[in-house]
A and B are shown apart, each in its own frame.
Chain A
Amino acid sequence: MKFQKRHIALLVYILFLLLPIYWLFNMSIKTNTEILGSMTLFPDNPTLANYATILTDPAWYSGYINSMIYVAINVVISLTVALPAAYAFSRYNFTGDKHLFFWLLTNRMAPPAVFLLPFFQLYSSVGLFDTHIAVALAHCLFNVPLAVWILEGFMSGIPKEIDETAYIDGYSFPRFFTTIFIPLIRSGIGVTAFFCFMFSWVELLLARTLTSVNAKPIVATMTRTVSASGMDWGVLAAAGVLTIVPGALVIWFVRNYIAKGFAMGRV
């Protein structure tokens, strides 16, 4: 690869992206005395004490477990319902299909703040308040439309002749769908799962409102600790670093499809 001027711009930009993350990591392996006492680019005495605090205190680590649980439930629900729907949208014309698609998209565009209070009352009234399933269902509001949208893009790229050949060969719809079609679009499914994971993982407002103790997500644990017990910067930074790790791992798996996925499979 020839080194050109344009690579300098790219390097500067990536440096700009990484510097704040590095600073968070840097703080997470310092003691509070060092954080508040002096400005050091590298920690003098690197310590893992902040991480130890989080990984041994149930109030902290249960937040991670709760987040993982509701994100996983959400990804499973979103994919299960979105797969057949996306197939219908990509292959058939049916009464009201365009209006339905538009209506689904409007939910991706609804500000969560609008739904805050009604959601709280709805889930309280059916006894789902403070459960993982409540948060997972609430996140379906924006993740299901997104999943349908992305999957539809990927499915439209598969030639229809494949479906027709399979039906002529005597495949029933469920058998065709599970044994032929799903393997064909597995990269699309992977990318969709990634996006559902992403938007459920980063969301705070709904997750915080719908939980109190048993299903409290890590993001809520962090904001509440900030206001309650003064500023334990080291632990806060360590908790932040730990929320980045799952995302970084997941990106690695979809790195080759990620650009196409962001274009909703439409390129």
Chain B
Amino acid sequence: MNKITNNKAWFLVLPVFFIVAISAIIPLMTVVNYSVQDIFGPDNRFFVGTEWFKQVLDDSRLHEALLRQIGYTFSVLLIEIPLGICIALTLPRKGWGVSACMVLLALPLLIPWNVVGTIWQIFGRADIGLGGYVLNMLGVDYNYTQSSVDAWLTVLVMDVWHWTSLVVLLCYAGLRSIPDAYYQAAKIDGASRWAVFRFIQLPKMQSVLVIGVLLRFMDSFMIYTEPFVLTGGGPGNATTFLSQYLTRMAVGQFDLGPAAAFSLIYFLIILLVCWVFYTVVMNAGQREEH
């Protein structure tokens, strides 16, 4: 769509600008302020330059948390994206089943994140939870509060349970936009099921998949509440991800300087990926228009 150039449109954007500026710029400035100072009290602070950044970048526990985070985020993407596509392909296209599936699929997304943690905390326990009980009955020695592998797997399964529906709904929206004529043409040409998927369905899902991949990347990269409730970051540090480490540093130990420096680095990583995402989506959008 060709748009009119009109700078008066700024007036329509001003309310959004102010409300987001208040809740984004002021806090961000505070963080920058902390990251370069050592604060002992309201009137007792020193400028320390990049010292906190150096300290944070050398922190080996932080490196571990970062590696854990990256491993976790990639596992989440590798499982949820293919599974989401598969489930979206199995959804009915018309009839009462559509509404029913939509409601059931969206249900996990509407559950408060700490309740998601609580649900799996209960479900995975060997004494009172169905999941843990059945696994132990089958002879699997499963205990997510003791074994770090079990804890890790539980957090992963919980995320798959919680967020795969998002990918399913996105892909389904993409599939719905394919006109029936495409399928009929494929049928006349005698295209195989795989060819239909590869050359008709996948290209139509491309733009929504980009949104899906990046939403899942961002959200799993900042995951906090669910592992906090489920495992509290343990056993040991097996499920301590970046947000947990940051919150512990800022609120638990009150190390404001390092926490602020860490916040900025954390934010920059996400910002970088976000910029790549934005460019990709915008370019894809322009290609479609031409």
A232 within 8 A of B: no
Q: Provide the residues of chain B in CB contact with A114, threshold 8 Å.
A: 31, 246, 263-264, 266-267
Interface readout for B78-99 with A: 1 if CB under 8 Å, 0 if not? Answer: 0000000011011110010101
Q: Provide the residues of chain B in CB contact with A41, threshold 8 Å.
A: 130
B181 within 8 A of A: no
B24 within 8 A of A: yes
Asked if A198 contacts B110 (CB within 8 A), the reply is yes
> What separation, in Å, do the CA atoms of A40 and B99 have in the docked complex?
32
Number of interface residues of A (CB under 8 A): 97
Question: What is the CB-to-nearest-CB distance from B184 to chain A, in angstroms, rounded to a whole number?
Answer: 18
Within 8 A of A (CB), among B105-140: 105-115, 118-120, 122-123, 127-131, 133
Q: Give the secondary structure class of A's interface.
A: helix
Asked if A202 contacts B27 (CB within 8 A), the reply is no
Asked if B6 contacts A92 (CB within 8 A), the reply is yes
- A39, A92, A105, A250 interface centre (most CB from chain B within 10 Å): A92
A258 within 8 A of B: yes
Asked if A122 contacts B166 (CB within 8 A), the reply is no
Q: Which residues of A contact B (CB under 8 A)?
A: 1, 6-7, 9-10, 13-14, 16-21, 23-24, 27, 35-36, 39, 41, 77, 80-82, 84-85, 87-89, 91-95, 97, 100, 102, 104-119, 121-122, 137-138, 140-141, 144-145, 148, 156, 160, 198, 201-205, 209, 218-219, 222-223, 226, 233, 236-237, 240, 243-244, 247-248, 250-252, 255-256, 258-260, 262-264, 266-267
Q: 29 A–B contact pairs at CB < 8 A?
A: A7-B90, A10-B101, A20-B161, A23-B123, A84-B15, A87-B12, A89-B13, A91-B3, A91-B9, A94-B5, A94-B8, A104-B16, A107-B23, A111-B267, A113-B222, A113-B247, A115-B23, A116-B250, A137-B22, A140-B23, A144-B19, A202-B109, A202-B111, A244-B107, A251-B106, A258-B102, A259-B170, A263-B170, A263-B174
